[in-house]
Chain A
């Protein structure tokens, strides 16, 4: 299995733990990732609201580069995943958008027919590789580890390409296959605050702290995410938590947990790149760390 890989800016920066663990896990599953040549920022959601056609062109440039290869395009960051999909859909559904974008691309020597398949690694791992293979690859089941599966909003909304819009279960199933206990988590697709932590930090922090409190109430040891921005918001603002009791909750990428279960050395999984340290709870639950 082979994919074109679009890391996006986050995975090269604050989401570094996501990238290292993803690459390690995919290697273990014999999936080849070829980083897209000369890729650029997808524009994230912010640019869309400033200038739509430039934002679409920016994102479409990546799609045009990917189209030259026939492989599907893997976009692990939930925002990239959404923006790329949205761009593709608008180019297809609104001929005027398509015309402007194609013209701009052509000026830069690019051409985009619209055929690139955009995939999220969670979808690929569970639906293409399959849970049977995952179970076979697990060396140290994450027994006794209670996990709140947090999807965030962007990976299933508005485009529910591989799971239910309001109540996805793909990651739940993956975590169970790793041997973990998945707690009931009613806020699994509620917003983490997104970029509000940058613009209105009190509001953003309050939203992400709601998620942490609820995970605690449901008995979770940690929260797992698939989005670098969610990870950042959840991990970084716990000191801003209001209320009497102090709660801390380690945050992980699902790929880090896969790596642990696969028995990979912690150096490959970015386990030290957390503000809320993760190692104590892993030790407490006697998760084997290679």
Chain B
């Protein structure tokens, strides 16, 4: 589809990238080789093409040598395609007359044979030089950015991001699945390494969220569908019925007192360490301060038969047994996903006895047990009613373990230290920590470890083999025995304790795959959401306009979570304040002449970007929705779909030339 016959004058530039390319590929030899290719007017090498002088070289050559095609052989287009397109337009040429060749990731970094690598670079250069002849001038389209932001998950990550954006004047929808916001942090008594009270630093933020005029806080709600693209998402949110009219309830709890049930249902917030009624508030500082009725447990909702003493007790008439789930549709321009983590299920390692021995606890249970507002008011009393004299904390339960999760969960060493301190403070028990390696990288973290050593906590290095109540001798009787190879002392030890704490690792949420699909983002092998680049784009995803923050991206502590939340908010602000985003023009369009109207493309399009014009009997592609995946192009039986930057003659010439060497 070249528009008119013109003389092709191509400029070719090969980058040494310091030693990255230059030490493997013989760049001057490639320059000489390319000089002999058809249409080449300039062929040069340069140490760093991405530097200012490198870019200027291209611009100057375009002006002075009347170049009309540019090829740069350097690194990945992900890194510098934009840089060189910009250089191309600086020289006065449409930036799409440019083609990039990746001879770093695809060549010098993965080969050691210099001759073969140099030949490969020549092949790739030849293919690009041939392809670029068929390029056309294209225009980037601009998409306006809707200024509202959706945040999914209201743990500390979602809360911090919401407040940052709202304080900058942006309107935020904060959607939380549970009846209250707060996430895991709301369960903690204190936080490492400073041991500041979690509630004192979190609950003010929670109430700011609730009261902020720019934040619409939806608890007990979930996102059910996502349509559109960056700047222009249409989101459907499902509000589950609480059976309480939120605007009327003031959280006086009269209904809870009146409920005919005893407290007999597991209290999720207290990790099952206490019981609650079917009508409840998760915890005293829950936000919003609104009760919720569990329809699986409530007599009225289950059987229709109850004297409804709760409704009678409510003088504000806030209880509504007829409430139904509702769906609300909103428009936003950007999204932050901050759905957090799930703790490893300790049942999967029965040798540690959780669920078998009552006095074996998970770390989250201990967070509640030492909590001043927890089920025992902070008294460390075990399930058998006794107070422990000796406690063992076992690190790496479901972390760094071939049979469960291979990764280090990053926070467990630190929270185990914290729990060692708190348990000792609350019970005066002697504390043992069993670790494989102590991992305390972080500001003031090693110092915290040091402090615990000085406080007299015992540290035993070795992965615990089992917890058993089998007593080998009198001392062990009526105790739990921790059997471990002490790898520093060099022998197997059996240490009798009263209470065991399992430092369970952090995992991706059970429904992470569903959320991933809903928002069209990626997950790594461990199930956590994948960032666009591990170093340079840690809160971006591969879908434009959707960002991730906090423990949903990987195990991390509160400081790192908050830092990411701030970063994600800043990324949204950058888009919103730019007002619009330029879209890649790599979209597909229909050649109306040859389209037979067979409709095969319509159902194939994953973005529902194709519709049917019933009058003309032709398919129509909505450019704003098209993401340039190419599915329809390949599927069209009459070859009537063309994709910018991937036209037939461009691709086929490239393939022919790259293979010409063989």
Contacts and interface: CB of A to CB of B under 8 A. Distances in A.
Interface of A: 164, 166-167, 169, 184, 186-187, 214
Contacts of B61: none
Interface stretch (B206-214, B465-473, B501-509, B636-644): B465-473
B351 interface: yes
Interface in B125-179: none
B356 interface: yes
A187 B356 CA distance: 14
A166 B468 CA distance: 11
B350 interface: yes
Nearest to A214: B470
A108 B486 CA distance: 50
- Interface size range on B against A: under 10
A181 to B, nearest CB: 16
A207 to B, nearest CB: 12
B468 A164 contact: no
Given A184-B356, A187-B468, 11 more contacts: A164-B350, A166-B350, A166-B351, A166-B466, A167-B350, A167-B351, A167-B356, A169-B350, A186-B468, A186-B470, A187-B470
Contacts of B469: 184, 186
Interface in B343-359: 350-351, 356
A164 B356 CA distance: 15
Contacts, number: 16
A127 to B, nearest CB: 18
Interface string B456-489: 0000000000101110000000000000000000
A101 to B, nearest CB: 28
A152 B470 CA distance: 16
Contacts of A187: 468, 470
Contacts of B470: 186-187, 214
Contacts of B468: 186-187
A166 B351 CA distance: 6
A184 B467 CA distance: 14
A164 B348 CA distance: 9
A187 B350 CA distance: 13
A169 B466 CA distance: 16
Which of B350, B469, B470 has the most chain A CB atoms closer than 10 A to its own CB? B470
Contacts of B351: 166-167
Chain B binding surface SS class: mixed
A167 B350 CA distance: 6
Contacts of A164: 350
Contacts of B356: 167, 184
Nearest to B481: A186
Nearest to B465: A166
Interface string B323-357: 00000000000000000000000000011000010
16 contacts: A164-B350, A166-B350, A166-B351, A166-B466, A167-B350, A167-B351, A167-B356, A169-B350, A184-B356, A184-B469, A186-B468, A186-B469, A186-B470, A187-B468, A187-B470, A214-B470
Give the 5 A-B residue pairs with the shortest CB-CB distance, closest first: A167-B350, A166-B351, A186-B470, A186-B468, A214-B470
Nearest to B403: A165
Which of A166, A167, A186 has the most chain B CB atoms closer than 10 A to its own CB? A186
Contacts of A167: 350-351, 356
A167 B356 CA distance: 11
A134 B470 CA distance: 32
Nearest to B348: A164
A167 B466 CA distance: 10
A184 B356 CA distance: 9
B500 to A, nearest CB: 14
Contacts of B466: 166
A108 B366 CA distance: 64
Nearest to A185: B470
A164 B351 CA distance: 9
A169 B350 CA distance: 10
A271 to B, nearest CB: 29
Nearest to B477: A217
B438 to A, nearest CB: 26
Nearest to B466: A166
A166 B350 CA distance: 7
A186 B468 CA distance: 6
A214 B351 CA distance: 17
A244 to B, nearest CB: 14
A187 B468 CA distance: 8
A148 to B, nearest CB: 12
A199 B572 CA distance: 74
Nearest to B467: A186
Nearest to B470: A186
A164 B349 CA distance: 9
B532 to A, nearest CB: 39
Nearest to A187: B470
A128 to B, nearest CB: 23
A165 B468 CA distance: 15
A187 B351 CA distance: 11
A140 B469 CA distance: 33
A186 B494 CA distance: 15
A169 B348 CA distance: 13
A170 B356 CA distance: 16
A166 B463 CA distance: 15
A104 B469 CA distance: 49
B390 to A, nearest CB: 19
A169 B355 CA distance: 14
Contacts of A166: 350-351, 466
A149 to B, nearest CB: 13
A111 to B, nearest CB: 35
A161 to B, nearest CB: 14
A183 to B, nearest CB: 12
A184 B468 CA distance: 11
A169 B347 CA distance: 13
B316 to A, nearest CB: 51
A184 B470 CA distance: 10
A157 B468 CA distance: 19
Contacts of A169: 350
A186 B466 CA distance: 10
A232 to B, nearest CB: 22
A224 to B, nearest CB: 18
B336 to A, nearest CB: 40
A184 B350 CA distance: 13
Contacts of B350: 164, 166-167, 169
Interface in B417-467: 466
A199 B470 CA distance: 27
B182 to A, nearest CB: 35
A187 B470 CA distance: 7
